[in-house]
Amino acid sequence: VTGASFVVFNGALKTSSGFLAKSSIVEDGLMVQITQEAMESLRQALREKKNFKIACGKTDTGDVKEYVDICWVENEEKTNKG
């Protein structure tokens, strides 16, 4: 689990790159590079207030060890006020 001050979603990852998605820590935030198709799915999930999971890693390995989960919560008192 990684806490971050901000998250940047970059929809410019090419499918030919060999990655499902890539995530990296940038200063005190998180940058997630995804394909254009994944960006459209993410936008739709945000509009509908649905949870969304992004699997990160190479496409040729079946063992994905890193995920970026976007989760909607009902109790906002336990979330970061900032």
Is the pTM of the predicted complex or chain greater than 0.85?
no
pLDDT, average across residues 48-77: 85
- Give the residue from 28, 27, 36 showing the smallest Cα distance to 9: 36
pLDDT, mean of residues 8-35: 92
Of residues 72 and 44, more confidence is placed in 44
The Cα–Cα gap between 58 and 76 comes to 35
Q: What is the mean pLDDT of the chain?
A: 87
Residue with more model confidence, 52 or 81: 52
More confident residue, 78 or 29: 29
CATH code for residues 6-70: 3.30.1360.220
